[in-house]
Structure 1
């Protein structure tokens, strides 16, 4: 399948450019590594914002992206065949944006009022984030960074601009790791009569965002927030934290693992029906495989699936019940048992 794009851009220098505006056919936007032989290094101010702020001078390039071969081709900009199909990819027309590996900067208000944006994918070199770059991106909860979790990246810079729930996935050569950073709230209270304002922060999401060392996630430090989170956060937040840490146990100590598993077992009659409601059988299966939940939790999940009239989920839960909790019939008997 081929997708057409029209890129407005200007030069940073002779070897690199800045993207200013994009027109295209899909709400899932992909930005190429190069345009006109120059590296795409920046997304300019208001690049994807609902309101347009183009400079007086810019250039335009039309490209075709082959989604199967993942190759770009530049074509003349005067073709009438594609021109009527393209729309401005900004504001509420964006759901996912994939930025190139060599992009290192996102400008001020770059995604301002992108109210439908859900996911951003970047390379590891994006480390400069402009002022209010993600303001009013109310559905933006998923970030993917193309690097190993042990590599330096700009993930902490992006997280520092967003106080909402955010699931960050690191995809590198050694595999995939995902970490959940919960929402937090900031407020400022005036301390009268001196007109001094005190900053107040609620939620462990702020502390979780501090768990980086020189741009690399410090997951051992991240695990230390869980005991306090248990006292302050909602159960759904705790489920998200522990599920990803158990699923991707990078730098997970035995002590931290025991805390997560203990909480899972304490709350299993809430957690498993909740996962059934989300139709997340992959996670329930993972818990069963590791022996972290009981048959009572699976039965609670079956009751939830029945209320939902979810036949597929019911069948999978019955399979898990038979596989992990049904006692096997004896094939041999002692002499005493026969008498």
Structure 2
């Protein structure tokens, strides 16, 4: 217990999905200690003076309580501080759910979290927190970010990947620094550690002018149109034009993400040709997406009506 809240000094789970408790002893969990979830710490049974061991579970699970299998983690809503190396070596952690208003994220908190690429940030008030800027600066890989705003509004963004490379320049006795990948501006489009969606959308045309991953571009454009928070008309027109040129790929994306609710909107947005619709129908049949298949067949027959073809053998 510290300052009206609880600090978790160590936490372990044998499960692939876990949520840290919102409160303990009637107090909110407000801090994670240094190396709190590092797998190699879980074997140490000693506790600092004044610390208490607590079992929080929905039913005992099999396996070692060491976080080595942890793939999805939810942090407490009132968490304010994350200590140094808090998630060190959580190598298979892929998804992190947390509040956007965390005030301090320690050094090396994500060291060796090589699989982390999906963030769900919840914002409780009107002001934007600094957590997204911190993650975008720490992780150069592609990030799929969902922001849950007050009132139920959702923003979903893609931050494309880039790479940083240091090469030793022996004659000059120094290292040369190189950046490659069109995603660098997206990871650094923050002002005062706050993201402006207008600036984010303003990077789109330059992004297409550089060497980039076409699948990342498709997902970025679709996410902005699917969740169009603060989306200006000029940017929306650019995104629509891009999706219209790749209507077949966009249909495949929506089917693969099982976003059936958005399918009618995408069909209206892109007006795919007959070949793209037929290919999408085939994919829906393969995956058993019956509702999506019905919508696609209806669109196919509405736009390309054809009588039943008959053949006769005499």
TM-score (norm 1): 0.76
Q: Which residue of 2 aligns with 1:196?
A: 174
> Equivalences for 1:81-100 in 2 at 5 Å?
85=61, 89-100=65-76
Residue 31 of structure 1: CA displacement? 2.1
Quote the Cα distance in structure 2 between the aligned partners of 1:43 and 1:277. 36
Residue of structure 2 in register with 1:241 after alignment: 220
Residue 86 of structure 1: how far off its partner (Å): 7.4
Larger gyration radius, structure 1 or structure 2: 1
Is 1:60 aligned to residue 52 of structure 2? yes
Name which of 223, 243, 250 aligns with 1:271: 250
SS at match of 1:103: coil
Corresponding residue for residue 170 of structure 1: 147
1:146 aligned residue (109, 122, 141): 122
- TM-superposed CA distance for 1:162, in Å, is 1.5
Query: Any unmatched runs of 5+ in structure 2?
Result: 307-314
Distance 1:309 1:252 in 2: 33
1:296-316 CA-to-partner distances (Å, cap 9, x unmatched) read: 33233224446x464625334
After TM superposition, give the deviation of residue 167 of structure 1 in Å: 1.3
**What does residue range 67-146 of structure 1 map to in structure 2 within 5 Å?**
85=61, 89-146=65-122
Displacement after TM superposition at 1:264 (Å): 0.9
User: 1:268 Cα deviation (Å)?
Assistant: 1.9
| 1:298 maps to which of 272, 277, 285 | 277
- Report the CA distance between 1:281 and its aligned residue: 3.6
Residue 270 and residue 304 in structure 1: after superposition, are their counterparts in 2 closer, same or farther (change >3 A)?
same
Residue 187 of structure 1 aligns to a residue whose secondary structure is: strand
Match of 1:205 in 2: 183
- Compute the RMSD of aligned alpha carbons: 3.0
Q: CA deviation at 1:204?
A: 2.8
- When residues 309 and 292 of structure 1 are mapped into structure 2, their CA distance, relative to the original with a 3 A threshold, is closer
Q: Secondary structure at the match of 2:240?
A: helix
TM-score, length of structure 2 as denominator length: 0.82
Structure showing the higher strand proportion among its residues: 1
TM-aligned CA deviation for residue 238 of structure 1:
0.6
CA contact (8 A) 2:140 2:161 kept: yes
**Could you say which residue in structure 2 is the equivalent of 1:17?**
6
The offset of 1:218, in angstroms, is 0.7
Q: How many matched pairs?
A: 298
- CA distance 1:58–1:188, shift in 2 (3 Å): farther
| Alignment of 1:225 onto 2:214 | no
Within the alignment, does 1:51 sit opposite 2:40 as a pair? yes
Instruction: From the superposition, tell whether residues 20 and 187 of structure 1 become closer, same or farther in structure 2 (CA, over 3 Å).
Output: same
